[in-house]
C-alpha cells in the first residue's frame, strides 16, 4: 500500500507506463472502471478513469474540485470495510484513480442467490456496514450515497464475505458550524432533510441504512413509488409500513431497529454508535422459531421455509429490477446503467437465440431502466429551477418598468399635442384680434374725421341752434373713446376666454 502522501499527488505521468490496463469492469456517466495490473508488483487493482470537465460552461465531465474532494476523502480512510485508494494519475482529459479491486459483486446479489436468509446472517452483514460507516462518521465524513449498488463484497467465495463501501463521489466532510445543503443522491434512499433542502449531516447516512435494512429483510422498498415525485412525497410524509406479507417472519426487534433509523426528526434518529449498540445487532444470532423435534413442526416447517425462500425470491426480484444490471465495482457518483444494460442485452440476443421467447419481459426491464435513467436525469435538472424562478421575477420587474416608461412617453406626447393645439388656437385668436384692431382703427379714424368735419368754434357747434358754452366736441370725443374702449375690452375678453377654454380641453380629454 502506498503512502497517503503519494496518493494525494496527482501524477502527471502516463498510467499505462506503470499499469497494464485490462478489461472493462463497469462504466458510469463520466467514468469507466477497468481491471489493471501493477507492472512492478504484479498486483491487481481497479483503474477508474474519470472524465474531467474542460470548462465551467460545459456539462460534460466532472469538475476538478469534485474529483479532488473524492480523492481527499479516500486518502483519509483506511478501514477494512472501505475501498482503498492506491494511486492517482492525471492527463489532459482524465483523472485515473487506482483503487482496491473489489471483485465479489454486490451484497444484495449475493444474498439473493441464497435459498434462505435468517436474521442472524443479515445482521452479520449489517454490522459490517455499520462498522464502515462508524469509521467514516468518526472522521466527520458523510457518505451521502449509501445504497445496495455501493455495498460490495471483496470476495464472495469465503464463509463470511467482507463488506466494502464504495463510491465516495458525493461524500463530504461535515465542518462544525458550517451549514451544508444539497439535493443529491438516489431518491429511493435519500433522507427527508435532503428532500426538504434542510441542513445536512451524518444523520442522512443512518436513514439510508434503515432503508437498506428494510429491503434486505423483505425484498420490498419502503418509499418507492410509481414516479420519482411519488417516492419523494412518500419520504416527506413518512408513508411506509411493515406489510404483513413481507414481514410475517421478521422479529419485532428488527422492526424496532428499522423504525428508529427511519425517524423524520434527525435528532431522534439512531446515531451510528446507537445502531451498533442496538440489541438486534448485538445479539447477532437468532435461533429458529420452531423446535426441530416436535411432530407438528414437520407440518409448519415447510411453510416457514417457504416464507424464507419467498423472501429471498423477492430480494432477487428487487435486485433484478433495480440493481443487478449495475456493472461490478463502479464506484463513481451519478452512475447510469442503461447504456451498459443495452449493450449486454444485445450480446445476449446475438449469443442466445433461444432467449427470443423472453424478449417481451426483457423489454419491460429495459423500459423500467429507461424510466430510472430519465428520473435520475430530471432529479439533477431540478436544482436549476430556483435560479430560473429568480430570473423570471427579474424579467417581470423589467417589463413593469418598460410599461411605465411607455406610459410616461405616451403622456408626454399627449401633452405636446395639447400644447401644440393651444398654440394654434392662440395664433388664430391673435390673428382675429389683429384683424379686429385694424377694423376698429378704421372705424375710429372715420369717426374722428366725421367729428372734425363738424367745425366747432368757441365752444359753440355751428348749425345746432347755437348753444353757448357747450363743449360738445370734448363730450363727444369722450363718449366715443369710452365706447371704443368698451368694444376693445370686450373683444380682448372674448379672445382670452377662448384661449382659457382651449387650455382646459387637453386636461379634460386626459
Residues annotated as catalytic are 145
CA distance 335 to 337: 6
CA distance 404 to 410: 10
Q: Is 52 annotated as belonging to a binding site?
A: yes
Identify which of 253, 249, 254 has the alpha carbon closest to the alpha carbon of residue 300.
249
Say if CB 279 and CB 217 are below 8 A apart. Answer: no
Where is 88: in which H helix or E strand? strand 85-90
CA distance 110 to 69: 31
Rg, C-alpha atoms of the chain: 47
Q: What are phi and psi of 77, to 5 degrees?
A: -110, 125
CA distance 431 to 453: 33
Identify which of 217, 268, 225, 279 has the alpha carbon closest to the alpha carbon of residue 245.
217
Q: Nearest 5°: CA angle at 49, between 43 and 50?
A: 145
Could you tell me the maximum CA-CA distance found in the chain, to the nearest angstrom? 172
**Ordered DSSP codes for 187-233:** GGG--HHHHTT----THHHHHHHHHHHHHHHHSS-SS--SSHHHHHH
Distance of CA 447 to the CA centre of its chain: 97
CA distance 103 to 154: 6
CA distance 194 to 178: 16
CA distance 390 to 369: 34
Nearby residues of 287 by Cβ (< 8 Å), 6 or more positions away: none
91 Rama class: left (phi>0) / alpha (psi -120 to 50) / beta: beta
Instruction: For residue 218, give the C-alpha cell.
Output: 423483505
Where is 35: in which H helix or E strand? strand 31-38
Q: Binding-site residues for ATP, please?
A: 52
Q: Binding-site residues, please?
A: 52
Amino acid at each position: 500500500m502506498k503512502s497517503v502522501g503519494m496518493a494525494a499527488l496527482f501524477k502527471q505521468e502516463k498510467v499505462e507506463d506503470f499499469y497494464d490496463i485490462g478489461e472493462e469492469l463497469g462504466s458510469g456517466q463520466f467514468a469507466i472502471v477497468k481491471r489493471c495490473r501493477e507492472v512492478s508488483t504484479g498486483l491487481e487493482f481497479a483503474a477508474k478513469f474519470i472524465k474531467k470537465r474542460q470548462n465551467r460552461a460545459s456539462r460534460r465531465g466532472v469538475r476538478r474540485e469534485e474529483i479532488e474532494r473524492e480523492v481527499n476523502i479516500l486518502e483519509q480512510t483506511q478501514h477494512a470495510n472501505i475501498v482503498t485508494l492506491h494511486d492517482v494519475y492525471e492527463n489532459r482529459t482524465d483523472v485515473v484513480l487506482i483503487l482496491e479491486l473489489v471483485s465479489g459483486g454486490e451484497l444484495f446479489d449475493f444474498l439473493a442467490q441464497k435459498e434462505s436468509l435468517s436474521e442472524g446472517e443479515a445482521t452479520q452483514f449489517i454490522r459490517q456496514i455499520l462498522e464502515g460507516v462508524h469509521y467514516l462518521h468518526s472522521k466527520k465524513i458523510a457518505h451521502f450515497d449509501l445504497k445496495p449498488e455501493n455495498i460490495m463484497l471483496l470476495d464472495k467465495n469465503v464463509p463470511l464475505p467482507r463488506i466494502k463501501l464504495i463510491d465516495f463521489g458525493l461524500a463530504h466532510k461535515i465542518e462544525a458550524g458550517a451549514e451544508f445543503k444539497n439535493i443529491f443522491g438516489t431518491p429511493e434512499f435519500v433522507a427527508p432533510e435532503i428532500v426538504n433542502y434542510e441542513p445536512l449531516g451524518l444523520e442522512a447516512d443512518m436513514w439510508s441504512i434503515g432503508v437498506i435494512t428494510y429491503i434486505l429483510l423483505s425484498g420490498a422498498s419502503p418509499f418507492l413509488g410509481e414516479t420519482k415525485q411519488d417516492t419523494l412525497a412518500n419520504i416527506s410524509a413518512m408513508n411506509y409500513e411493515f406489510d404483513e406479507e413481507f414481514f410475517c417472519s421478521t422479529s419485532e426487534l428488527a422492526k424496532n431497529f428499522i423504525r428508529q433509523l427511519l425517524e423524520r426528526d434527525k435528532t431522534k434518529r439512531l446515531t451510528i454508535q446507537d445502531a451498533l449498540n442496538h440489541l438486534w445487532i448485538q445479539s447477532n444470532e437468532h435461533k429458529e422459531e420452531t423446535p426441530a423435534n416436535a411432530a407438528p413442526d414437520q407440518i409448519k416447517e415447510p411453510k416457514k421455509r417457504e416464507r424464507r425462500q419467498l423472501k429471498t425470491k423477492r430480494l432477487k426480484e428487487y435486485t433484478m429490477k433495480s440493481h443487478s444490471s449495475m456493472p461490478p465495482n463502479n464506484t463513481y457518483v451519478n452512475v447510469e446503467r442503461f447504456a451498459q444494460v443495452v449493450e449486454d442485452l444485445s450480446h445476449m440476443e446475438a449469443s442466445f437465440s433461444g432467449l427470443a421467447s423472453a424478449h417481451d419481459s426483457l423489454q419491460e426491464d429495459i423500459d423500467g431502466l429507461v424510466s430510472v435513467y430519465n428520473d435520475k436525469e430530471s432529479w439533477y435538472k431540478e436544482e436549476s429551477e430556483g435560479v430560473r424562478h429568480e430570473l423570471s421575477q427579474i424579467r417581470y420587474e423589467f417589463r413593469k418598468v418598460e410599461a411605465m416608461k411607455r406610459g410616461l412617453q405616451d403622456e408626454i406626447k399627449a401633452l405636446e399635442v395639447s400644447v401644440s393645439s393651444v398654440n394654434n388656437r392662440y395664433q388664430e385668436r391673435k390673428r382675429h384680434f389683429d384683424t379686429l384692431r385694424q377694423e376698429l382703427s378704421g372705424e375710429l379714424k372715420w369717426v374722428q374725421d366725421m367729428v372734425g368735419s363738424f367745425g366747432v368754434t368757441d365752444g359753440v357747434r355751428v348749425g345746432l341752434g347755437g348753444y353757448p358754452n357747450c363743449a360738445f366736441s370734448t363730450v363727444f370725443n369722450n363718449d366715443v373713446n369710452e365706447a371704443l374702449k368698451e368694444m376693445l375690452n370686450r373683444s380682448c375678453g372674448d379672445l382670452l376666454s377662448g384661449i382659457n377654454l382651449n387650455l382646459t380641453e387637453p386636461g379634460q380629454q386626459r
